[in-house]
Structure 1
Amino acid sequence: MRYPPGHKEEKRKELLKAGGALVKERGFAASGVDALTEAAGVTSGAFYSHFASKNDLLKALVESELRASNEMWAANPHETAAEWIGYELDRYLCMSHVRHPEAGCVLPTLGAEIARADGEVKEAYARELAKGIDILAQRLGDKDRAWAFLCQMVGAILLARTMPDQKSQRALIESSKRFLQEAVGGLNNAASMQKPASAKSKRKNPVPRQ
């Protein structure tokens, strides 16, 4: 049977999407090939036509999930740091993210398994994560702040999922959100205090046109 152009790539995307949801819910080690193929609606033969091994799938899943997160950050419509960060905090630090790992970020769900993975998976993970850090750093001023911001968000979701009830989950999420909002507010205040001096300096020492 001859398939139309792009059919194989579409099937690969479907497998990654369905497989990503499954492993974020159950964990990668607990998700066998049969379960992954059933979730994607493909045969095991089709699975191995896309991925050489289950480890190859993990690498592809990590890349796919992190790219999706980076695309979401890049598509944030807000301009100021406070609005941009507020939008991301509302999207990430919410109860639906706590309660539905299958639809959320890969970092709180597969971090431990990535830590046990081989070097190829870790390199792919580090490469895509660095792109996300670059996007955050553009809003927060430098990479140190970007790493701290990301670690706080991921840790908040991870810890909230360990809490025994929604009340404690919500309290943890909201406290983390307030902390990060205050931190970003402090950065904005510091930046605004520096602007007049910077502008004055430019007037005294204008840069010649090239």
Structure 2
Amino acid sequence: MRYKTGYKAQKRQELLSISGQLAKKNGFGATGVDGFMKAAGVTSGAFYSHFSSKNELFKALIENELQHSVHLWQKNPHHDVKAWVDFEIERYLSIDHVQQAEHGCILPALAAEISRAEHDIKSLYKKELLRGQQLFTKHLGNEALAWGLMSQLVGAILLARSMPDLETQESILKSSKYFIYQALEQYKNE
């Protein structure tokens, strides 16, 4: 059977998108190839026409998800540092991001799994994450401040997701916003 030009690339992208959502919601290691393919509505055999192994899917998923995150950060319409930071904080530290992991950032969802992964996966993760960190550095004018902001954003979402109630989740987000603004103000005054 012949497919239209671009069909395979489009199908691969669909598989990455659906697999990314499932991995961010349930964990990559906790989901088998059959689970990913069932969610995508294809057979496990179709998996191997796109990926040589589950490890290859993990790498492709990390690359795809981090490229998506960088793209979102690049789309921030503000150039003024404060407006840029405000936009990112409000977008990232939202209750929707806490409660809908499948539609959120890969960093709080899969960083723990990536930390236990093989060196090639960690290297790919580092390469893609550094692209985002460089964008934060460009806007904040300081590499350490960029790492600090990124870490606070990711950590706040991860901690809020571990709470069973909305009140505590919202408290964590509010406290994190306060902490970030205090840290940025202190840095500006140094």
The alignment's TM-score, normalised by the length of structure 1, stands at 0.87
Larger Rg: 1
C-alpha RMSD of matched pairs (Å): 1.2
1:179-209 per-position Cα deviation (integer Å, ceiling 9, x unaligned): 212333444556xxxxxxxxxxxxxxxxxxx
For the residue of structure 2 that corresponds to 1:12, the secondary structure is helix
2:95 alignment partner in structure 1: 95
Give the 4+ runs in structure 1 shifted more than 4 A: 186-190
Unaligned runs of 5+ in 2: none
Alpha-carbon distance in 1 for matches of 2:4, 2:64: 24
1:6 alignment partner in structure 2: 6
For the residue of structure 1 that corresponds to 2:47, the secondary structure is helix
- Pairing of 1:130-169 with structure 2 (within 5 A): 130-169=130-169
Letter in 2 for 1:92: Y
1:35-85 per-position Cα deviation (integer Å, ceiling 9, x unaligned): 101111222121111110001100111100000000000110011010001
Preserved CA contact (<8 Å) 1:16 1:61: yes
- Pairing of 1:1-210 with structure 2 (within 5 A): 1-188=1-188
1:201 alignment partner in structure 2: none
Preserved CA contact (<8 Å) 1:140 1:184: no
Identity of aligned residues (%): 49
Range with greater deviation from structure 2 (89-98 or 42-51): 42-51
Alpha-carbon distance in 2 for matches of 1:38, 1:159: 30
Alpha-carbon distance in 2 for matches of 1:142, 1:27: 33
Q: How many residues align?
A: 190
Unaligned runs of 5+ in 1: 191-210
Alpha-carbon distance in 1 for matches of 2:57, 2:110: 13
Preserved CA contact (<8 Å) 1:15 1:40: yes
Alpha-carbon distance in 2 for matches of 1:41, 1:84: 39
Preserved CA contact (<8 Å) 1:82 1:185: no
C-alpha displacement of 1:145: 0.8
Alpha-carbon distance in 2 for matches of 1:160, 1:39: 27
Letter in 1 for 2:155: G
The alignment's TM-score, normalised by the length of structure 2, stands at 0.96
